[in-house]
Amino acid sequence: MVKKGRRRLPRSEEQYEAMRIATKNKIHTAAIKLFAKKGFAATGVKDIAEEAGISIGLMYRHYKKKEDLFNELVTYAVEGLKRIIKKFQSNESPVELILQLTLEILNDLDNDDEYAYFQMLMNQSSTIENLSPQIQQLNMQSKAMFNQTARLIEKGQILDQFKKGDPMEMALFYFATIQGLTMMKITMNNEFITPSREIVTSFLIKD
């Protein structure tokens, strides 16, 4: 409808799109880092703008509220979770699936990948009172991830790949270690030592 009165643009729509995506990326990278490290409340929009190297005003052109930015990041985390859940539902060998995920996570921790930040974001979410739909979704997917992992462990136990024990308890412990490692990574930074996957999985996988 508005298209009818199309006027000439100084830049092409593609150029504008690229600019917007570029600044959005800057905001994302800065925000995930700060939210993960300091939490939602302790992170000021000023901090984010500074870290991203843009003005506060520009942030608000992209996000009406600080919360909207947080929620968008949460959405990415949800997508990541969904991918893992889907993978776990495949028919591959349980031990292979767990090993694969573990190695991937340890690798990301070692390479300072954004993974750690997203993991922390998931914790931070639980500290927020006013649960947005995005955070509710995240909580649902987390629970699904848990159940899926417990089922996978059960499968692996039947195949005699895994050690005995309550699958739910083991799944919880697995994620607790991942959680804890992520936290350590973020707080210790360069003093952090990424553990071998043998250490991480020794409670679960038979030698």
Residue 195 as a binder of its own copies (CB under 8 A): the answer is yes
For the segment 47-86, give every residue that binds DNA (CB under 7 A): 54-58, 60-61, 64-67
From the list DNA, its own copies, none, partner contacted by residue 58 (C-beta under 5 to 8 A by kind)? DNA
Residue 205: phi, psi to the nearest 5?
A: -95, 130
Q: Where are the alpha helices (H) located in the chain, listed in sequence order? A: 13-38, 45-52, 56-62, 66-88, 94-110, 115-126, 133-158, 167-188, 197-201
Residue 205 pairs in a beta bridge with 162
* List 18, 19, 22, 42, residue binding its own copies (CB under 8 A): 42
Residue bearing tokens 């955070």 = 135
Q: Angle between the 167-188 and 94-110 helix axes, to the nearest 10 degrees?
A: 10
Residue 80 as a binder of its own copies (CB under 8 A): the answer is no
From the list DNA, its own copies, none, partner contacted by residue 101 (C-beta under 5 to 8 A by kind)? none
Residue 131 as a binder of DNA (CB under 7 A): the answer is no
Q: Give the nearest distance from C-beta 205 to its own copies in angstroms.
A: 11
CB 185 within 8 A of CB 109: yes
Residue 132 as a binder of its own copies (CB under 8 A): the answer is no
**Using CB under 7 A as the criterion, which residues of the chain lie in contact with DNA when the complex forms?**
7-12, 15-16, 19-20, 22-23, 43-46, 54-58, 60-61, 64-67
